[in-house]
A and B are shown apart, each in its own frame.
Chain A
Amino acid sequence: MVTLFVALAVGAVLFGIGLYGALSQTNLVMIMMGVELMLGAAMVNLVAFWRFLHPEVYAGQMFVLIVMTVMALEMAVGFGIATGRFRAKGSVEMEEARELKG
């Protein structure tokens, strides 16, 4: 039986993995995957809160839809940058990308 606790635990695990991935990886694609995982964890939490606490309110589902849109946009922009950088520099290693230094 899946309870709210189980769902939140899965979300927390997912978020932790995503955070670790985003912070520890140097490849742009890998960092984006970490970010995707964190967004996914947020979606799991949203769905869990809606399903177990207020199943009669549809605003929770709308939030999930918005987050999914944001994920898709993030993917599109991120991969656009990654493709552009790869064409220009031949690598997407972020240790080498210091152009934005203040």
Chain B
Amino acid sequence: MMLAALTILGPLAAAAMILLLRRVPEAFALAGSAAGLVGAGFAFAGVSGGARYGATLPGLPGLPLRLVVEPLTATFAALIAVVGFLVMVYAVGYMTGEVGRVRFYAQMSFFMAAMQTLVHANDWVLLLAAWELIGFSSYLLISFHLGRPDAASGATRAFLYTRSADLGLYVAVFVLVAKTGTSQIPASLEVGGAAAVVAGLLLLLTAAGKSAQVPFYGWLQDAMAGPTPVSALLHSAALVAAGAILLIRVYPLLSPGVLLAVGLLGGLTALVAGLAALAQRDLKRLLAASTSNQYGFMLVALGAGVPFAAIAYLVAHAAMKSSLFLGAGIFQQARGSTRLADLGGVAREQRWAFLGFAVAGLALAGIPPLSGFWSKDAVLAASLAGRFAWLFVPLALAGTLVTGAYIALALKSLWQGEGQGSSVSGMGWMGTGLAGLVVLAVALGLALPPLARLLAAEPPQGMVVATLGTLFGAAGLVLGWLVPAERLLGPLRGPAESGFRVGGGFYDLVARPAFSVARAADTLDRGIHARVLGVGRLGLAVAGAAGNFDEKGIDGLIAALVGGTRWLGARARTLQSGLVHKELLLAVAGGALIFALLTIGLF
């Protein structure tokens, strides 16, 4: 139990220590991810032996935060820990001499801890928190090269895209929690009816944003501005995988209609992103488009109703795609660029790295007996066996074909050209990380049957589709090698280069209307502001008039009263001469007056 907690606490403690001490960040990061690896391995072993762990942390009142270790989460956790550790080993070599290593390793460790929390969360509140944290830390990591404008804009773009899609997750969680009255994930997955459909579609939207599916896949290519280890982790086991992981976890919730949408979206992405990859002129951008394409396959498997195929593909893809990225990182260090035009012939200098890259690429294309073959076989068999086979199988096969084509394009671009005899520093660490992941990419096929037993799933298989998939992958490879990408794409080249923008893309469809709405709102706001100011001025004028009236009117009245009284008093004072006989005379006159009145008969 305590050891299993290391999965999260190891990287988290590493991040804290790095930020506190700011010394030897590599050592702490490696130790943290190694501790995470030990924890995940222990938990995985325990789960394989039938054990289940759970923990309830005190959270908000009435909303405790629940963690769970069960076969599914243990599988994901082990995947993240392994890939994370190997990428971290690679990063030690890659980041040699970079400025800001403390920041980098702290953010990487934190990213891993957040991702592990996300997989272990058994509670929507905790899941949302972890979801935010991975989005935030990936934003920090993508913008690692602070001075570069493309890093800043890429990070902002990634953040905005995924955040807008995250709104779906929020609304879905609100719907589920409101429907079931509990924030526990397993309980909320039993919801049915309209709420399940709404929540399922919203979750699909969120997953499409995070996993870079149509129509949100543009951000992933801009996110390539980050350091290569970040891309490797982001694409294989962390941020992008989070979308697929979310859909796999909520699979019981998804109704047939939603599943159709999931599969359709995945199939479309597999095709469209694959074509976009063919049009790329930059190795890392090509790999990024390939990531969208590969996650499309996972969504197809989910849509066909076989989550195990998606899990298998996720695991295999993590090893393959991180190997590809790590290889690309070595080429990048050798030539100081990732543009395909600059990388010509780099394969002849870095033969071992190219071997790893090529093996991982062939695995991605689904060539037996590499891991990609088995997982792709599972996906194809699943789509053939499931409903809507007529829809999913062609899409998946077309995706396989373009996968082979863009892999061949990448391999050809790297191979053709003259070697320059460059040397790369930190090759020992980088080679170790890459070698570990390539071994996984080769051999993970062996792990699928035991994994299926652990998850209590029936691995779908089929000779026909396996042969078909291999044929299509190989055909793609041959096509890509022999035919230049421009010719291959034909009329699709223009749209593919621009990322298949529809109606001007997000700028015209979303940004411009949003800006005009904002301008209208601004005008309205200014109008309201002017009205408010007008009301204020009116109030001031009224107050001024009242003040005037108060000063001139009432005060004047009082002053006049006072003046009159004083005048009267002055007049009355002249009567008082102080002379006794005059006073007496007055008294007599007064007496006479009273007497006269009495006599007239007033009384």
A→B interface (CB under 8 Å):
19, 22-26, 28, 31, 94-95, 97-102
Contact = CB atoms under 8 A, between A and B. Distances in A.
Contacts of A102: 572-573, 575-576, 578
Interface of B: 572-573, 575-581, 584-585, 588
Nearest to A100: B578
Given A19-B588, A23-B588, A97 B576 contact: no
A10 B373 CA distance: 157
Nearest to A28: B580
A99 B584 CA distance: 16
A42 to B, nearest CB: 13
B577 A94 contact: no
Contacts of A19: 588
Given A19-B588, A23-B584, A23-B588, A95 B579 contact: yes
A25 to B, nearest CB: 7
Minimum-distance CB pairs A-B, first 6: A102-B576, A101-B578, A100-B578, A98-B578, A102-B573, A94-B580
Given A19-B588, A23-B588, A94 B579 contact: yes
A9 to B, nearest CB: 19
B584 A22 contact: yes
Contacts of B580: 28, 31, 94, 97
Contacts of B578: 97-102
21 contacts: A19-B588, A22-B581, A23-B584, A23-B585, A25-B581, A26-B581, A31-B581, A31-B584, A94-B579, A94-B580, A94-B581, A95-B579, A98-B577, A99-B578, A100-B576, A100-B578, A101-B576, A101-B578, A102-B572, A102-B573, A102-B578
Most interface-central of B573, B576, B578, B580 (chain A CB within 10 A): B580
Dominant secondary structure of chain A at its interface with chain B:
loop
Contacts of A100: 576, 578
A99 B579 CA distance: 9
Nearest to A24: B581
A24 B576 CA distance: 18
Nearest to B579: A94
B18 to A, nearest CB: 98
B569 to A, nearest CB: 9
A99 B573 CA distance: 13
B579 A97 contact: yes
Contacts of A98: 577-579
A101 B582 CA distance: 11
B585 to A, nearest CB: 6
Given A102-B572, A102-B573, 17 more contacts: A22-B581, A22-B584, A23-B585, A23-B588, A25-B581, A31-B580, A31-B581, A94-B580, A94-B581, A95-B579, A97-B578, A97-B579, A98-B578, A99-B578, A101-B577, A101-B578, A102-B576
A26 B579 CA distance: 9
Contacts of B572: 102
B157 to A, nearest CB: 96
A97 B585 CA distance: 16
Contacts of B576: 100-102
A31 to B, nearest CB: 6
B369 to A, nearest CB: 131
Nearest to B573: A102
Nearest to A19: B588
B571 to A, nearest CB: 11
Contacts of A28: 580
Nearest to B580: A94
A86 to B, nearest CB: 15
A19 B581 CA distance: 11
A97 B577 CA distance: 10
Contacts of B584: 22-23, 31
A23 B576 CA distance: 16
Contacts of B577: 98, 101
Most interface-central of A22, A23, A95, A102 (chain B CB within 10 A): A102
A94 B576 CA distance: 14
Most interface-central of B577, B579, B585, B588 (chain A CB within 10 A): B579
Contacts of A95: 579
B579 A23 contact: no
Nearest to B572: A102
B163 to A, nearest CB: 90
Nearest to B576: A102
Nearest to A95: B579
Contacts of A94: 579-581
Nearest to B578: A101
A102 B575 CA distance: 8
Nearest to A99: B578
A23 B573 contact: no
A28 B580 CA distance: 9
Contacts of A101: 576-578
Contacts of B581: 22-26, 31, 94
B284 to A, nearest CB: 109
Contacts of A23: 581, 584-585, 588
B582 to A, nearest CB: 9
A81 B588 CA distance: 22
Contacts of A26: 581
A23 B581 CA distance: 5
A31 B582 CA distance: 12
Nearest to B581: A23
A25 B584 CA distance: 11
Nearest to A98: B578
A99 B47 CA distance: 120
A22 to B, nearest CB: 6
